[in-house]
């Protein structure tokens, strides 16, 4: 007998990749109620880890229900403790540089407003037209409130904004450059080091939104010299719908910048309840109101799986899943008039793949009706989210096969 | 046999009140793990309703775990739906005037900043020295950012700030008056109607913090002509530690004021993800980032118990519990050098009672060690939180008896 190398479009090809996948066993760590469902939207909402379901149950009955207000002895420190764990395992940041707090939107607001307030001579914020909507809206508001404006980078919609695109719009008016590390539509990875360096060379601060990167793309905030960052926890960190977000402030900036939302969780000696806001030293200043503890528990628990799987292995599988999706696109879909909305080069691509055709909205809805969950992003992209801990190569095969059948 | 009227210090007196209590059965609707524990801190963190424990479990496994991203079809509208239910059942507000969003702190920030921005000629915010810390800190920050300052009302620390205290500091510089309806330390109820009227007569807006009132004191935002309000859900609304807060914006102001945090959840046609922030009409504008759904489910479930019990009966029991605590204070504690830190007049008192002595911090800690949970508030108050759905008259009796034994 001769072993025959299966072709990429052969289901046996995906099967072989799944057999060789060192992360395949992690799927069993998640609740998978409907084994027929092909879930390719973990980049919008990650699946529920079984351990998280149990931890939420225990938290409710034993924590809230059992400890009652005494639970705050443990809960009070969770935003910074979970932040430290995220810093070390996912963000490449130091202890005391990351907190869990509020939503990505509110954190963007706090950090961007602080960055502008610290540089009164500069009133322009640079971002790109393809940045995620909440980033664009928040930055527009913050810039306008400071008497300034947003200056737009018009990067390539598939390959993303390049360092020279950004550098070419910088001048002495620019207080802040704010971009997403992984573009929400195309998955293009921005050149964090080069763009950060360009911002610094211009005397501007930089704020990265890591929402589509955290937990699936290795991030090196400290090594990259990044000033500020935010990101969400409900995508590849699997913390549940609307779980609170994280924020990062480089140690050296923690004294210089000031949270515009002066809440009691940012107050030194909070329970003295004294007169006059006096921010606590360090990252704690960036907390605002009472944190939602049940959601913090979910973030903490989800993080354990990331640490156990290892970000390097997660990243390897993400790129392999993406390469497989692109190979199937090329074989099946390109002949049907589709085009790729994501970078082909997997070093410059996050963990989802966008496939474009003018009828993408209807096709994505048609896939949903067949139990293949993707999402549509205007004007013409279907996003296939590839979550290395729960997505199999067989899922990718079957998802794209059904799109082919639907589209021809 | 003659029935002998028991004295107030007789345990039989409390027992008789419990027997006659129409809300006594509601205690069984809550998780009470340790029947020996005397929990008098529901004003800090309300107990866990059994139905909420079950709903959280179901939400995790069936909602997040089962529906996955498809759950957003239901979840997207929850912030305004739960807001509408809260408006009708607890706040005396209209449909479309209340949203669940962020924390009390962040909501205070959004509304206060918007109120100042809408009145550029006025830069002063009036509040009182005894307002809750996060209110004072946020207002200081917002006023300073607008080039203004906070003007302080120095009200009576027990009876609270009276309408004439507030009116006497108003002038044409005052953009906003912001007070708590129920004081966090003394439980004094402010005169919402008279103070609101005084603010309006001065051409100022008013913002009420309802945290210590919502779910236990009838509130009439619409009838009182209130402009803006915020409040938390983890006290008498029993939604769990750090559950998101609510905000109220009177219909007539919804066009005039503008949320400084321009997030995608406040955007018209959110999922078009278009260019340029264009706030959705109505209360939805005051949403910011992705809401924490698990916590919204808990708010919604807790509200059912409030509706079922009825706010009038809840209020009656709260005042009766407070009157009982005060009677015991007078009989047992006043002779030991304690004094009352709350109004005697139960019409002007919320649902907790503060009892003062110079060693309050040690006494409160001593009570905790004995399984009587209260809290200490600087400089000299022990707060006894009286949650009508879960606190019995026997709890009040036993809590104060142990304080007496500890203190003498």
Cβ neighbours of A290 in B, within 8 Å: 103-105, 232, 234, 241-242
Q: Using the beta-carbon criterion (under 8 Å), do A245 and B289 form an inter-chain contact?
A: yes
User: In chain B, whose CA is at the least distance from the CA of A129?
Assistant: B275
Are A65 and B31 inside 8 Å of each other by CB?
A: yes
Q: What is the mean pLDDT of residues B32-49?
A: 96
pLDDT (0 to 100) of residue A401: 98
pTM of the model: 0.97
Closest CA to B258 of B83, B119, B98, B99: B119
Cβ <8 Å between A60 and B60: no
In percent, how much of chain A has pLDDT > 90? 98
> Residues near A271 by Cβ (< 8 Å), separated by ≥ 6?
none
Q: Tell me: the pLDDT tens digits for B278-323?
A: 999 999 999 999 999 999 999 999 999 999 999 999 999 999 999 9
| β-pairing verdict for A38-39 and A372-373 | parallel
Cβ-defined contact of A65 to B56 (cutoff 8 Å): no
Write out the H or E segment, with its range, that includes residue B176: strand B174-180
CB distance from A106 to chain B under 8 Å? Answer: yes
Say how far apart CA A182 and CA A386 lie, in whole Å. Answer: 14
Report CB contact under 8 Å: A104, B373. no
Rounded Cα–Cα distance for residues B58 and B51 (Å)? 10
Between the CA of residue A260 and those of A116, A382, B248, B289, what are the distances in Å?
11, 38, 22, 17
A380 part of the active site: no
pLDDT in tens, A72-111: 999 999 999 999 999 999 999 999 999 999 999 999 999 9
Contacts of B272 in chain A (CB under 8 A): 378
Tabulate helix, strand, coil % of chain A (nearest 5): 45, 15, 40
By the 8 A CB rule, do A92 and A248 touch?
Answer: no
Give per-residue burial for A172-210: e unless 16+ CB within 10 Å, then b.
ebbbbbbbbbbbbbbbbbbbbeebbbbbeebebbbbbbb
Q: Catalytic residue among B55, B85, B235, B377, which?
A: B235
Q: Which three-class secondary structure string do you get for B74-109?
A: HHCCHHHHHHHHHHHHHHCCCCCCEEECCCHHHHHH
Is residue B169 a contact partner of residue B153, using CB atoms and an 8 Å limit? Answer: yes
Give the whole-angstrom CA distance, residue B358 versus residue B353. 16
Residue B383 catalytic? yes
Distance from CA of A203 to the nearest CA of B (A): 24
pLDDT averaged over every residue in chain B: 97
Q: Is A272 on the interface with B (CB under 8 A)?
A: yes
Element at A230 (helix H, strand E): strand A228-231
Distance CA A219, CA A246 (A): 14
Q: Which of A235, A349, A377, A404 is catalytic?
A: A235
CATH 3.40.50.300 fits A76-307, yes or no: no
In the block, tokens 């103070």 appear at B195
Distance in Å, alpha carbon of A81 to nearest chain B alpha carbon: 17
Q: Is A248 on the interface with B (CB under 8 A)?
A: no
Q: Is A234 a catalytic residue?
A: yes
Mean pLDDT of A301-305: 98
Beta bridge partner(s), residue A372: A38
Q: Give the whole-angstrom CA distance, residue A244 versus residue B289.
A: 10
Report the DSSP pairing between strands A124-128 and A174-180: parallel
Q: What is the CA radius of gyration of chain B?
A: 22
A366: exposed, middle or buried (Cβ count in 10 Å: 0-12, 13-18, 19+): middle
Q: Is B235 on the interface with A (CB under 8 A)?
A: no
Which strand (E) or helix (H) includes residue A328?
helix A311-328
Q: How many CB atoms lie within 10 A of CB A244?
A: 31
Q: Determine, for residues A56 and B60 on separate chains, whether the beta-carbon distance falls below 8 Å.
A: yes
User: Cβ B105–A261 below 8 Å, yes or no?
Assistant: yes
Least confident of A3-17, A287-301, B141-155, B215-229: A3-17
Q: How far apart are CA B58 and CA A336, in angstroms?
A: 43
> Which of B45, B142, B289, B381 best tests the A interface by mutation, with the highest count of A CBs <10 A?
B289
Q: Is B5 helix (H, G, I), strand (E, B) or coil?
A: coil
Q: Does A120 touch chain B (CB under 8 A)?
A: no
CB contact under 8 A, B373 and A69: yes
pLDDT at A4 over 90: no
Beta-carbon-side half-sphere exposure of residue B63 (alpha carbons within 13 Å) = 19
**Among candidates A106, A377, A378 on the partner chain, residue whose Cβ is nearest the Cβ of B289:** A106
- Cα B336 from Cα B330, distance rounded (Å): 10
Q: What torsion do the CA atoms of A383, A299, A76, A250 make, to the nearest 10 degrees?
A: -60
Question: Token pair for residue B370?
Answer: 């004995």
Q: With DSSP H G I counted as helix, E B as strand and the rest as coil, what are the percentages for chain B, rounded to 5?
A: 45, 15, 40
Q: Which residues of B touch A66 (CB under 8 A)?
A: 31, 33-34
Report the alpha-carbon angle B222-B225-B226, nearest 5: 85
Closest approach of chain A CAs to the CA of B273, in angstroms? 6
Contact flag B129-A33 (C-beta cutoff 8 Å):
no
Note whether A393 contacts B: Cβ–Cβ < 8 A: no
Of A150 and A6, which is predicted with more confidence? A150
- Positive or negative, the CA dihedral A366, A372, A378, A381 is negative
Exposed/middle/buried for residue B394 (C-beta within 10 Å: 0-12, 13-18, 19+): middle
Report pLDDT for A1. 46
Q: What is the DSSP letter of B25?
A: G
Give the one of B33, B105, B294 whose C-beta lies nearest to A295's C-beta: B294
Give me the residue label for tokens 């018009």: A154
Contacts A289 to B, Cβ<8 Å: 102-106, 134, 242, 245
Q: What distance in Å separates the CA atoms of residue B287 and residue B279, rounded to the nearest whole number?
A: 10
Spatial neighbors of A296 by CB under 8 A, at least 6 apart, are: A75, A78, A79, A82, A100, A244
Tell me the average pLDDT across B168-192.
98
- Spell out the CATH class of B11-50+310-407: alpha beta
pLDDT score of A6: 78
Average pLDDT, chain A: 97
Q: In the annotation, is A26 catalytic?
A: no
> Could you check whether B11-50+310-407 and B76-307 share the same CATH topology?
no
Question: Does residue A342 belong to the interface with chain B, where contact is any CB pair within 8 Å?
Answer: no
Distance CA B30, CA B50 (A): 5
Active site (annotated) includes residue B235: yes
Task: Test B290 with A232 for CB contact under 8 angstroms.
Answer: yes
Task: Name the pLDDT band for B1 (thresholds 50, 70, 90).
Answer: very low
pLDDT, tens only, A337-387 = 999 999 999 999 999 999 999 999 999 999 999 999 999 999 999 999 999
> How far A156 CA lies from chain B's nearest CA (Å)?
16
d(C-alpha B234, C-alpha B104), whole Å: 11
- Residue-wise pLDDT tens digits, A264-291: 999 999 999 999 999 999 999 999 999 9
Burial class (CB in 10 A: 0-12, 13-18, 19+), A369: exposed
DSSP A129: T
Average pLDDT over residues B31-39: 95
ipTM (interface predicted TM): 0.96
CA nearest to A296 within chain B:
B242
The alpha helices in A179-273, defined as continuous H runs, are: 192-201
CATH of domain A11-49+310-407: 3.90.1150.10
For A:174-233, CB contacts with B below 8 A are: 232
Contact check, Cβ <8 Å, A103/B263 = yes
DSSP H helical segments within B158-211, as ranges? 163-167, 192-201
Quick one: DSSP state of residue B317?
H
Q: Is A349 helix (H, G, I), strand (E, B) or coil?
A: strand
For helices B293-309 and B311-328, what crossing angle results, to 10°? Answer: 80
Chain A residue with the nearest C-alpha to that of B150: A276
Please report residues of A whose CB lies closer than 8 A to that of B47.
65, 68
Q: How many CB pairs under 8 A join A and B?
A: 258
Contacts of residue B252, defined as CB under 8 A and 6 or more positions apart, other chains included, come to none
Catalytic residue (one of A185, A357, A383, A404): A383
Query: What residues does B177 pair with on adjacent strands?
Result: B126, B206
Within 8 A of A34 by CB-CB distance, chain B residues are 66
- Picking from A291, A293, A142, the residue whose alpha carbon sits closest to that of residue B263 is A142
Chain A residues whose CB is inside 8 A of the B128 CB are none
Residues of A in contact with B133 (CB under 8 A): 264, 267, 270, 273-274
Compute the nearest-CA separation of B74 from chain A (Å): 12
d(CA A408, CA A81): 52
pLDDT at B4: 65
Give the sheet arrangement for strand B381-385, strand by strand.
Answer: B339-340, B352-356, B381-385, B375-377
pLDDT at B6: 78
pLDDT band at A3 (very low <50, low <70, confident <90, very high): low
Residue B136 has pLDDT above 60, yes or no: yes
Examine the pLDDT at B3 and tell me if it is beyond 90. no
Spell out the domain ranges in chain A: 11-49+310-407, 76-307
- Please name which of A388, A24, A103, A87 lies closest in space to residue A249, comparing C-alpha atoms: A87
């Amino acid at each position: 007998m001769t072993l025959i190398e299966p072709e990429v479009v052969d289901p046996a090809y995906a099967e072989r990749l799944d057999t060789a996948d060192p992360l395949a066993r992690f799927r069993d760590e998640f609740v998978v109620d409907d084994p027929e469902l092909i879930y390719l939207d973990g980049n919008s909402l990650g699946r529920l880890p079984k351990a998280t379901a149990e931890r939420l149950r225990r938290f409710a009955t034993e924590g809230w229900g059992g400890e009652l207000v005494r639970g705050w002895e443990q809960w009070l420190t969770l935003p910074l403790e979970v932040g430290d764990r995220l810093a070390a395992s996912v963000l490449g940041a130091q202890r005391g540089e990351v907190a869990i707090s509020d939503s990505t939107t509110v954190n963007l607001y706090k950090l961007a407003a602080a960055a502008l307030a610290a540089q009164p001579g500069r009133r322009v914020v640079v971002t790109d037209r393809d940045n995620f909507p909440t980033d664009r809206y928040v930055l527009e508001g913050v810039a306008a409130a400071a008497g300034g404006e947003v200056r737009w980078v018009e990067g390539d919609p598939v390959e993303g904004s390049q360092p020279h695109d950004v550098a070419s719009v910088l001048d002495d008016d620019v207080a802040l450059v704010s971009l997403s590390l992984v573009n929400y539509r195309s998955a293009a990875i921005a050149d964090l080091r080069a763009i950060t360096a360009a911002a610094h060379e211009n005397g501007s601060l930089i704020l990265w939104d890591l929402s589509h990167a955290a937990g699936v793309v290795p991030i090196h905030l400290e090594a990259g010299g990044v000033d500020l960052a935010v990101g969400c926890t409900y995508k590849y960190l699997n913390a549940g719908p609307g779980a609170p977000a994280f924020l990062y402030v480089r140690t050296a900036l923690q004294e210089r910048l000031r949270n515009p939302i002066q809440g009691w969780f940012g107050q030194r000696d909070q329970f003295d309840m004294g007169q006059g806001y006096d921010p606590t030293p360090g990252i704690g200043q960036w907390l605002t109101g009472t944190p939602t503890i049940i959601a913090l528990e979910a973030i903490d628990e989800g993080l354990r799986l990331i640490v156990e799987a290892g970000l390097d292995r997660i990243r390897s599988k993400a790129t392999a899943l993406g390469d497989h999706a692109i190979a199937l696109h090329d074989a099946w879909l390109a002949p049907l008039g589709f085009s790729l909305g994501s970078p082909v080069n997997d070093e410059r691509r996050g963990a989802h793949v966008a496939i474009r055709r003018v009828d993408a909205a209807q096709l994505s809805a048609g896939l949903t009706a067949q139990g293949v969950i993707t999402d549509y992003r205007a004007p013409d992209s279907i996003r296939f989210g590839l979550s290395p801990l729960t997505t199999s190569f067989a899922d990718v095969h079957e998802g794209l096969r059904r799109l082919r059948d639907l589209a021809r």
